[in-house]
Structure 1
Amino acid sequence: MLRLLSLAALLLTLASSAHAQGGGGFGGGRKGQRLGQLENAKIAFITNRVVLTQDQAQKFWPLYNEFSGRRREFNRNGRLLRRDVADGMTDQQIRENFTQAFTMRQQELNLEKEYFDKFQKVISLRQVAQLFQAERDFTKEVIRRVADRPARPGDGLN
């Protein structure tokens, strides 16, 4: 479950990174539009799967957005650590890099446990389970669509 959630967050982080390179807000070019579309699709997907009352939705979405932002930050930092591994590193530097990466993954797990408890205060346990399943399913769907689509020049996927 953690791996799929991490993958979902990674996909959103990658989209966010592409968005930052494209500049501006969601309207900042094609990459920004794609990020906005991905975020909107995820919200719609989760909304469809986790049926929320109006009262629940008003409490849930700000909490979920806070959770997603914090999780995205962990993934961004983790990506920076992995990128730093180079042939010129000493064994000790590589070990320290892995230790930091393991610490960050543990912090991400702690974050998920923290928000698991917070989510249960605004939605039912069943809805929390549906939320995490919806995130996994959304990630699988995004991966399937990316894998199935033909590569286009300049989209960074070829």
Structure 2
Amino acid sequence: MILKKIFLLFLTISFCSYAQDGLKEKKDQIKALKVKFFTSELELSASESEKFWPIYNAYDDKQFEIRHQKVKTYRYQMRDNILSKMSEREASALLSQIESTDEELYQLKKSLIIDLKSILPKVKIIKLKKAEEDFNRKLLQQYKDKQDRK
């Protein structure tokens, strides 16, 4: 779970480092890969797919928006030279912000599951969870492989 949070934080921070145009392009590329991967892994019927994608895309966009907005505010404060000078009061405030963001993301995920229960069998919702994890691992591996080639 912590590894997943670190990966998602890393992914979000790497997104934040691109210019806005580059960000949109990368996000669109990842989204296209995700659609292809999930479609294969979930084996959605045409009817399920028609209902699933609008719900999932809204969730995914909101999740990205939350991470992009919130992590942008943390990123500066989490630099080593600032962390080493941070008071307990400042650390407490930052930690509260992080906890609040985590709670917001948890509630968003919970809402997604509730929405999906009305259109997908529960087994496919569990497959979605696995597909998300597998996709993130695959994406991270591709990133590592790309860095190794440089």
| Fold equivalence (TM over 0.5) | yes
Inter-CA distance 41–82: structure 2 relative to 1 (3 Å threshold): same
CA separation in 2, counterparts of 1:125 and 1:14? 32
Structure 1 residue ranges without an equivalent (≥5): 27-31, 153-158
Cα shift readout 1:116-137 (whole Å, capped 9, x = no counterpart): 1111111111111011100100
Q: Does 1:146 align with 2:146?
A: no
Q: 1:10 touches 1:72 (CA, 8 Å); kept in 2?
A: no
Q: Does 1:130 align with 2:127?
A: yes
CA separation in 1, counterparts of 2:5 and 2:129? 8
1:69, distance to aligned residue in structure 2 (A): 1.2
Q: TM-score with structure 1 length normalisation?
A: 0.77
Q: Does 1:96 align with 2:88?
A: no
CA separation in 2, counterparts of 1:8 and 1:88? 26
Q: Does 1:73 align with 2:65?
A: yes
Aligned AA for 2:73? L
Cα shift readout 1:42-91 (whole Å, capped 9, x = no counterpart): 11001100111111111110100111111112222134224324244322
Q: 2:113 touches 2:125 (CA, 8 Å); kept in 1?
A: yes
The answer for the alignment partner of 2:45 in structure 1 is 53
CA separation in 1, counterparts of 2:36 and 2:93? 40
1:16-35 matches, within 5 Å, as 16-18=15-17, 21=19, 23=21, 32=25, 34-35=26-27
Q: 1:120 touches 1:128 (CA, 8 Å); kept in 2?
A: yes
1:18, distance to aligned residue in structure 2 (A): 4.9
Indicate the percent of aligned positions where both proteins have the same amino acid.
19
CA separation in 2, counterparts of 1:132 and 1:141? 14
Q: 1:10 touches 1:75 (CA, 8 Å); kept in 2?
A: no
CA separation in 1, counterparts of 2:39 and 2:110? 22
> Which of 1 and 2 has higher RCO (CA within 8 Å, sep 6+)?
2
Structure 2 residue corresponding to 1:64, chosen from 56, 60, 66: 56
SS in structure 2 opposite 1:23? helix
Structure 2 residue ranges without an equivalent (≥5): none
Q: 1:8 touches 1:135 (CA, 8 Å); kept in 2?
A: no
1:16, distance to aligned residue in structure 2 (A): 4.2
RMSD: 2.6
